[in-house]
Amino acid sequence: MSIIDFHNHYYPPSYLDALRSEETSVRVSVDSEGNPVLHSPGDSNVAVRGHRDIAYRQTVLDEEGIDKQVLSFTSPGVHVHPPERARAFARMVNDDLAAIVEERGDRFGALATLPLNDPDESVVELKRAMQELGFRGFMLFSNINGVALSDERFWPLYQAADELGAVLYIHPTHPVGVEAMTDYWLMPLVGFTFDTTLAAAKLVFSGAVERFPAITWVLAHLGGAIPYLAERLDRGYRAFPECRENLSRPPSEYLKQFYYDTVNFDVGALELAIEFAGADHVMAGSDYPHQIGSPRLMLESISKLAISDEERANVLGKNAGRLLWL
């Protein structure tokens, strides 16, 4: 069975170099092992070798028995920079990811990034990335400097994505209400998953998902709590008029059409997601090379699922390959 890791992260070295040499919203330090550390408001990320060395990363794929990875940018996104820098950084990241796919397309695909704090330029970059660079999908962050993805300032972007049949992958970032999550690493452990949940729920209730049906939506970390809470969202739809205002069907009917990556290595949680959305809407993900990511746990958890060989093949690689033409 072909194995495609849909959820993992990469910092192009050119972006890291630019952060070191320019005045930006991200401060870069170096840890005791010589790794760059990216500091942004309320967050920091250690860019270990796997984050920035594509040749080394390919040896990791060989060791782990993974055929291909879908590279995506990670926190902090380019939207933390002023708009003019965000636009330049998005182009830089996308050009570098496209070059990797051109050179190593047998082992890597990629999702493009967008300068989401500049919605108009995001439309321009989405079209450039799809029509000139050959991308099929994009990673969106779960909020943009506190602004919800459901905000209508982003709807022209969704209109363009809908017209081109894009894949939009929602990954968490600095969550709203982060003040309650500053100890015990609760921001990434809890805040990230619930920010994804909040983003998905608001996109559905706002009517954006219904209005732009040709977009394929994907949620990180097994959708946060979406499979677990979908029934409660449906109860809200039945109980509260404002939850029906923009929808013609219950929320779960839209959410079952979303795709979910397997970055939750609990077998019971994976089974719930498959029961909710189907094995044809779940994709393998490792969160490599973040500290709490693991290609080994990705593969072990999927191997323990009580599903057919055909369903397992879909989860391991066929679904991702179909979505991104890999």
* Residue 76 clears pLDDT 90, i.e. is over it: no
Q: Give mean pLDDT, residues 102-129.
A: 98
CB 255 within 8 A of CB 216: no
CA dihedral for 39, 185, 11, 29, sign (positive or negative): positive
Query: Is the torsion defined by CA of 231, 236, 242, 248 positive or negative?
Result: positive
Residue 232 has pLDDT above 70, yes or no: yes
Ranges 3-12, 154-163, 177-186, 294-303: which has the least confidence: 177-186
Mean pLDDT across 288-292: 94
Give the model confidence (pLDDT) of 11-28 as tens digits: 999 999 999 888 788 889
3-state secondary structure at position 231: helix
The answer, yes or no, to whether residue 257 has pLDDT greater than 80, is: yes
Q: Please report the domains of the chain, with CATH numbers, ordered by start residue.
A: 4-324 (3.20.20.140)
Report pLDDT for 42: 63
User: 37-51: per-residue pLDDT in tens?
Assistant: 988 766 778 999 999
